[in-house]
Structure 1
Amino acid sequence: MLKLKLLPLLFLLSSFAAEAFAAPAQAPMEMPAEPLRKLQGRFLHITDMHPDPHYRPDMSEKSACHRNKPKKASPRSGDYGMPYSQCDSPFTLTNLTMDFLEKEWSSEIDFVIWTGDSARHDNDRKKPRTTNEIYMLNRAMARRMEEVFTIKGIPVIPSIGNNDVWPHNIMLPGPNTVTSEFSSIWRSFVPFASYQVFQRGGYFSVEVVPGALAVISLNTMYFYHSNTAVGGCDAMDSQDPGNLQFDWLEVQLEVFRGRGMQVWISGHVPPSAVNFFPDCYARYTELSLRYQDTILGHLYGHMNADHFYFLDAEHLRDQRSQEKRAVFDNPRTEKRKGLYKSLLKDFEDMPKTSKNTSYDGYAVVNVSPSVVPNPYMPSFRIFTYNITGTPYAPSHLDGQAAISTCNANTERSTRCKDQKHWHTHPESPSRTNRLWTPLGYAQYYLPALDASSKKHPPKYRLEYLTYPLALLHPPDAAAEAQFAYPIPRRHLPKSLRNATRSESKYAPYRLEDLTIPSWTGLARRLAEGTEEKLRKRFRKYMYMGADEA
């Protein structure tokens, strides 16, 4: 008999099966009132869990780890997953991950950004997915998120993934059965004030620090080029679901900016010239740059490969952006292998010095790797942000005249004739370290997954962090009393617990913070090629050691 402690998801799947297929609730569930928690200055980003109820150990990869035990000593599915494969996550892996987060991190973070794909891939013709299974898996994962975080007063902000719908990649304009079902599944995550908007489009915002800091969860299915059920933000169709979402997003950003708040934008499919319809990509980039002094950053999943890149006004006018379609394509294809070289080429095209860089025209997109070991190894990120700096007071005078984002794909649009003032400022939190500025992240992963067993389960380890070593420890007792360690000392490897360490394999980037100037500085270092070890580390982290070109 399987041990009960290893199967909370199995219990949830059976206990809540009837609930999963019931009619959606008409109002969000009220979670128990919790006192305001002391800010820790950290949050979790987790994505692409892909739990698979059909996964079995010792099965073949060709069967999606569902059957056909290999006769020879060829690779077989393990007790906790099969790394570098096309198999999804066994419940043992998702359970281990959530148990680890509950025990080690739930008291150390302020909120959770969870960017979708909480059902398995449709990768087995003999066991095709069904809508019932998709919703059941999402409901089970949501209930576990509630138990680990929400009930403790930690906001969870989920997003709809392209595999959270059936058929995958396809979502009709709302309201529809998807928005209705997720209104029920996420009733403890979606604020009551956002409920009607969510039922229409599957997007919403949450004030994670009331009156100061918000997270916007976008439904990227209405921007995603693979969704043939929508019009792709056609400029002539004001009722296109992508346009309606951007109209809502613009209002949200304007309201938050007017209140002096800062915002994280999150979603599943990352914004790029390939992933998004051309008009959707143009609108996303224009809004991201127009509200640069309000948006702290952009967090996404879907691609499974660890990387960052820039939204740049010049890219929209550069027809070469269309040539990158083979790079930022479906993450489950061989084309992902060119991602490393393509990013280096992008970085090489940037201004060579900070003096020549106009930061007004940049926004940074961070794409996190996944929990599912498909095709790499399970991982998650812990971000830190400034909770002690001075606040930024936006002004209507901040910024500059509009920078044109029109090209052959968008010049017919009235938006190209009515460009608006851009809100940018070098003292905003996205560009200088002050209150709410992102400071860095630590990425954890499960190495040696294939060598683990039920008797010897795998353990999450620190893979790398973005900070310089000097910032890992408070400089004095007063600083420690104010804000302890960016990463709690007990979570650091022994080699990093000593403040006198001068170098480490865990800290190759040495970023003072995660502002736009810091990211462009790292991009220049990678482009120059003089730090060969840095390039090797960047590539290794992107593919988690896999043999990708």
Structure 2
Amino acid sequence: MALLRGSLLALLVLGGVHDVLGAPPQVPLGPAAVAPAAKPRKLTGRFLHLTDIHPDPHYREGMSEKSACHRKKPKKKPRSGPFGYTYGECDSPLLLTNYTLDYLESKWADEVDFVIWTGDSARHDNDRKIPRTLKEIYALNRVMARRMEEIFTSRGIPVIPSIGNNDVWPHNIMMPGPNDVTSEFSSIWKSFVPFHSYQVFQRGAYYSVEVIPDQLAVISLNTMYLFDSNKAVGGCEVKDRDDPGNLQLDWMEVQLQAFRARGMQTWISGHVPPSARNFHSECHIRYTELSLRYQDTILGHLFGHMNVDHFFFLDARTLASEEENDGGAHTAGKHKDLYATLLKDYDHLYKREKDLDYDSISVVNVAPSVVPNPYLPSFRIFSYNITGSRYSAGLLGDSGTDSGVGQQHHLGDFVDREELCQGPDASNVSWRCNLNSPWHSSPHSPSRTNRLYTPLGFAQYYMPNLTGTERHPPKWKLEYLTYAPQALHPPAAAGEPEAGKKKDAFVYPVPLKRLPRKLRDANVTASKFAPYAMSDLTIPSWTALAHRLAKAGGRSKLRKRFRRYMYMGANEEL
């Protein structure tokens, strides 16, 4: 039985920490030993993004939401089910956590090249009668890491985790490093963090991994040092160059510069999304400027934390004043505000369509969570181009944009420094007055046009019905795709009417066996699973979708689907 394999509770017991957690058994024992790393694998052109699992060893079936599903059997339904509490405030039972990881092992472990895992691998601190402890947080993170090693690292698949705001104690608070947190996670993640990154990791818990050596890297940030809810840090103020947020962004700048000089491409990943409401103001300015300065080197930005499926833009024009774009509210209980906020931002972008400068925009993708709190369990499978031509920026030693591109930008093109940066102390006021480096952007880069390593799309899977038993568990199903249906199949060869004649040369963005039956038909041109029909996930494609959403009416099918995907059918108010 699948649920018997890789039990997190089994790992907790064998690790000698069952007494620390004090939780009743939910599943039997039976983990396998971690196998030695496999030889390098053939690329599939896919990777997994997994976030916010929040395993809770205290979860009990049949309990009340008010008790965090820990006790108090209510007289009336709804009650906590074996696999979770739908649209509520309870965390993931170990049964759901095990079932999810077992499913990924059996269905996806041989179908991806690397895993981006963006944090929160411990429960929320939402039960005063069973408060979290540091030992419990570390224990949950350790067994989660062990299970990820079993599933992926043992197969030679890199796993790139990030620290979440609930992976520390108290939640949201992390002191400048080196400290006990950075030391403990350097041990927990020793299989994931490259040896040459250990010294930097001990200082700040951030690092980079070359998932395809000399070609493609992932930069994993510790967003705790940028998060505005962390009051233990200074917030990247200009005058405090030793602030941990500034030190991290200094390091990120060096990493991007080095990767660009080698002609490599990168993903940026972390837990808390880099929006103006989530990051300290000065951290947000620095992060946005770095994202635009190295736009030709950064493929995209992947984050979690919000538990809501959405995307937003890092726009240079919003840095001209304190009224930066929101990128979404982060306050608990205000998810319903996010939909309206995003449409407002998309409308602002749409009104600039004629003079839209792609050099000044980056896109952030925020994935929904595995924990059904407050929506439904989800994960994403991305695909990327592994057959196109390589972009040459950096390899030729250029110091700016590609030849023939036009004006080379820097932050001063979008910020009125005469107004904002006057006076003898202006240089100490804001990073707006201190960032003068030229930006590297090009319409030929993989973030702007489809070529080698360009992100092509993603398939989002979810669990629409948590009702089930160990004998008949709920099913993971495809929720939606960003692709057009035709992109899921090989194109027809020249002069041949039928599709699928060049299967040997075609890289399937989603394995056909992981698609609903109707999408396996190469003749399908439209589907409820493919409402966006995006050609790829480049910056122009995301802005085009934003324009469509802004232009569409309030009751349009496109907006309704976008909202339904955000909240997974929950009755969030408009």
Partner of 2:411: 403
8 Å contact from structure 2 (residues 3, 102) kept in 1: no
Across the two proteins, how many residue pairs are aligned to each other? Answer: 534
Structure 1 equivalent of residue 529 of structure 2: 506
| Bigger shift: residues 3-12 or 262-271 | 3-12
Matches within 5 A, 1:431-450: 431-449=448-466
Alpha-carbon separation, structure 1, partners of 2:261 and 2:204: 24
Code of the aligned partner of 1:448: N
Shift of 1:418: 4.6
Q: TM-score under structure 2 normalisation?
A: 0.90
Which of 28, 42, 49 in structure 2 is aligned with 1:45? 49
TM-superposed deviation, 1:456: 2.0
Q: Deviations over 1:408-446 (max 9, x none)?
A: 699624662451100000000000000000000000000
In 2, the alpha carbon distance for the partners of 1:20 and 1:150 equals 29
| Equivalence for 1:261 | 264
Matched, 1:137 2:160: no
SS at match of 2:92: coil
* Aligned equivalent of 2:329: 328
State the match for 1:161 in structure 2.
164
- 1: CA distance, partners of 2:415 / 2:164: 29
Name the structure 1 match of 2:356.
357
**In structure 2, C-alpha distance between the alignment counterparts of 1:139 and 1:414, rounded to whole Å:** 38
CA contact (8 A) 1:305 1:369 kept: yes
Question: Does residue 212 in structure 1 map to residue 211 in structure 2?
Answer: no
Deviations 1:328-382 (A, max 9, x none): 122x32x221100110010001144755311000000000000000000000000
For residue 559 of structure 2, the aligned residue among 535, 541, 544 is 535
What is the match of residue 65 of structure 1? 69
**For residues 358 and 365 of structure 1, what CA distance do their matches in structure 2 show?**
17
Equivalent in 296, 316, 320 of residue 299 of structure 2:
296
Return the match for 1:416 from 433, 445, 470. Answer: 433
1:24-423 aligned at under 5 Å gives the runs 32-71=36-75, 73-321=76-324, 324=326, 327-330=328-331, 332-333=332-333, 335-352=334-351, 355-394=354-393, 395-398=398-401, 400-404=408-412, 412-413=429-430, 416-423=433-440
Asked whether the equivalents of residues 7 and 92 of structure 1 are also in contact (C-alpha less than 8 Å), the reply is no
Q: Distance in 2 between matches of 1:280 and 1:316?
A: 12
SS across alignment from 1:340:
helix
Distance 1:431 1:242 in 2: 29
Three-state SS of the structure 2 residue aligned to 1:78 is coil
Q: Does structure 1 residue 526 correspond to structure 2 residue 549? A: yes
Distance 1:337 1:318 in 2: 26
- Determine if contact 2:41/2:156 at 8 Å carries over to the other structure: yes
SS of residue paired to 2:362? strand
Please state whether the residue corresponding to 1:444 is helix, strand or coil. Answer: strand
> How far 1:320 sits from its partner (Å)?
3.3
Equivalent residue in structure 2 for 1:475, among 471, 491, 494 = 491
Partner Cα separation in structure 2 for residue 33 and residue 469 of structure 1: 36
1:371-407 alpha-carbon deviations (Å, 9 max, x no partner): 0000000000000000000000013231613133658
Q: Give the partner amino acid of 1:529.
A: A
The letter for the 2-side match of 1:376 is Y
In 1, Cα distance between the equivalents of 2:444 and 2:526?
31
Amino acid at match of 1:465: L
The SS at the match of 1:349 is helix
TM superposition shift of 1:518: 0.1
Q: What is the root-mean-square deviation in Å for CA atoms of aligned residues?
A: 2.1
Alpha-carbon offset, residue 460 of structure 1:
0.4
Identity %: 63
Question: 2:411·2:432 contact (CA, 8 Å) conserved in 1?
Answer: no
Q: TM-score with structure 1 length normalisation? A: 0.94
Relative to 1, partners in 2 of residues 1:4 and 1:97: Cα closer, same or farther, differing over 3 Å?
closer
Specify whether residues 44 and 3 from structure 1 end up closer, same or farther in structure 2 by C-alpha distance, changes over 3 A only.
closer
Residue 7 of structure 1 contacts residue 91 of structure 1 at CA under 8 Å; is this kept in 2?
Answer: no
Which position in structure 2 is the counterpart of 1:25? none
Deviation readout 1:100-155 (Å, 9 max, x if unpaired):
10000000000000000000000000000000000000001000000000010000
- The superposition leaves residues 86-106 of structure 1 with CA deviations (integer Å, 9 ceiling, x where unpaired) of 000001101010001000000
Are residues 31 and 197 of structure 1, via their aligned partners in 2, closer, same or farther at CA, if it must alter by over 3 Å?
Answer: farther
CA contact (8 A) 1:20 1:136 kept: no
Q: For the Cα contact (< 8 Å) 1:159–1:218, is it kept in 2?
A: yes
**Structure 1 residue 314: Cα displacement:** 1.0
In structure 2, stretches of 5+ residues that fail to align are: 21-33, 403-407, 493-499
Contact kept, 8 Å, 1:183 with 1:195, in 2: the verdict is yes
Distance 1:354 1:406 in 2: 20
Does the 8 Å contact 2:12/2:18 carry over to 1? no
Q: Tell me, what secondary structure is at the counterpart of 1:321?
A: coil
2:411 touches 2:435 (CA, 8 Å); kept in 1?
no
Q: Distance in 2 between matches of 1:541 and 1:516?
A: 21
Mapped partners of 2:161, 2:78: distance in 1: 34
Separation in 2, partners of 1:262, 1:3: 38
Kindly tell me: are residues 417 and 447 of structure 1, through their superposed partners in 2, closer, same or farther at Cα, counting changes over 3 Å? closer
Residue-by-residue CA offset, 1:219-248 (whole Å, 9 max, x unaligned): 000000000000000110111000000000
Uncovered stretches (5+) of structure 1, i.e. residues with no partner: 22-29
Q: Give the SS at the match of 1:17.
A: coil
The aligned residue for residue 27 of structure 1 is none
Per-residue deviation, 1:479: 3.6
In structure 1, how many angstroms separate the alpha carbons of the residues matched to 2:131 and 2:352? Answer: 52
